[in-house]
Amino acid sequence: MAVRQPDPTPGLEPERGLVLAVLAQGVDADDEIGEFEKLTRTAGVRPVARVLQHRQQPDPRTYVGKGKLDELKSEYGRVKAEVLLVDDELSPSQQRLLENTLEARVVDRTQLILDIFAQHATSAEGKLQVELAQLEYNLPRMRGMWKHLERLGGGVGTRGPGESQLESDRRMARRRVTLLKERLEELSKQRDVRRKERRRTNTPTVALAGYTNVGKSTLLNALTDAEVSVRNRLFETLDPTTRGFEHEGRKYLVTDTVGFVRRLPHQLVEGFAATLEETLVADLILHVVDASAPEERLVEMIGAVNGVLHDIGADELPIELVLNKVDAADETRRRALSNRYPDALQVSALTGEGLDDLRTRIADRFADLFEPVRLLLPYQDGAKLNELYALGAPIEEREDTSEGVLVLARLPRREINRFARYLVGA
């Protein structure tokens, strides 16, 4: 079934892409393919038509059936497509067969998302992660790249200059993979040092997790007065970004993380350890969702994020559901959300609605970790006062007396023993 798609808004002419998908019976094509077409537009490709086939499983050799393959070739030429985009992860043999049949580039779902990640990575670590994921994806597919040279050799696929070039490139790619993993391991150790410093100061850490494009970066900016990029694009945030805010004298750190989608490729989950590690070491996860999305879509997005959180072991951490973009929901929708998610906060990062309640909710989550204490620190023990400030403990009162500095502070409970000799009163 080929479905003609309307042309997008005129502008810089993007590549023309034909979308191909194999769907199980009963699957809503518009819902399933709609997200994939958003991904293609983010990558700079205009989806001009669809070719869909309903069957239980893709063909292991050709992906689609033989008859549908003929239709695909005809439709590809008719719409003057420049690339075939497949909403699935193809095996190397499936990809080569489709490329040979159409005599065209074939990009599967994983390769498309990797391309988007490559466009959006900004930090040195993010670029290394993208390169590693791309190399690991391309290694088993390298044979087809040197097919024209293999014909020059005298052996049956094992000798000749083509095979030598292929093996040489594979060795180079494997060495590069090893080097990238070593460099990323070093960066991971540096992150551990920074985390230990944060833990030393007992600063609570909150990670924003959620589906891509639900407003996590906008929420980070609104909570912390940061200036993280918030363009309306899928996967706009790849590199973990941490900013802080204060509430009632206590500092909290908030980390924005990469957005999730349905069927996020495993090599991306593994490759983007930097972002996901920030989720794992957080004290609290804010699961941000788009309150303006239709109910069925909202449930799907929540399920997709919960699935990834489970895969990386983050579902064991405390999680607060945050319904963002309520400014785009009418009163009826808001009531429905309140009934379905009674414990979730409804906020708008765009207008600021509900943000004070969110800061209070975060503070309440950590309230039991701190104990109000009154300390008298003699002047000769001034280093202890410096230790107190280094902990980031809120100093609610301070008075310089003849005996020393009298302070009322909220200390992390595990640190009270360090200051036990200076405790005064109740």
Same-domain status, 78 and 205: no
Report residue 141 as tokens: 């597919």
Domain end residue (candidates: 116, 151, 176): 116
Task: Strand 205-210: give its sheet, edge to edge.
Answer: 241-247, 250-256, 205-210, 284-290, 319-324, 345-346
Same-domain status, 167 and 304: no
Inside any domain, residue 381: yes
pLDDT at 200: 56
- Relative to beta strand 2-4, strand 241-247 is unpaired
Q: 153: domain range?
A: 121-185
Closest CA to 235 of 267, 257, 208: 257
Quote the pTM value.
Answer: 0.67
Same-domain status, 384 and 309: no
Same-domain status, 172 and 216: no
Same-domain status, 112 and 137: no
Same-domain status, 99 and 66: yes
* Whether the Cβ atoms of residue 109 and residue 88 lie closer than 8 Å to each other: yes
HSE, CB side, 13 Å, CA atoms: give it for residue 384: 20
* Whether the Cβ atoms of residue 101 and residue 73 lie closer than 8 Å to each other: yes
| DSSP state for residue 211 in the 8-state scheme | B
Within the chain, which residues score under 50 in pLDDT?
1-10, 146, 148-160, 230, 232, 234, 237
Q: How many domains does the chain have?
A: 4
Q: Could you give the CA distance from residue 132 to residue 177 in angstroms, rounded to a whole number?
A: 6
Inside any domain, residue 194: no
pLDDT at 245: 87
Instruction: Write out pLDDT tens, residues 363-393.
Output: 888 876 777 888 998 988 888 888 887 776 6
Helix (H) or strand (E) run with residue 406 in it: strand 405-412
257, amino acid identity: T
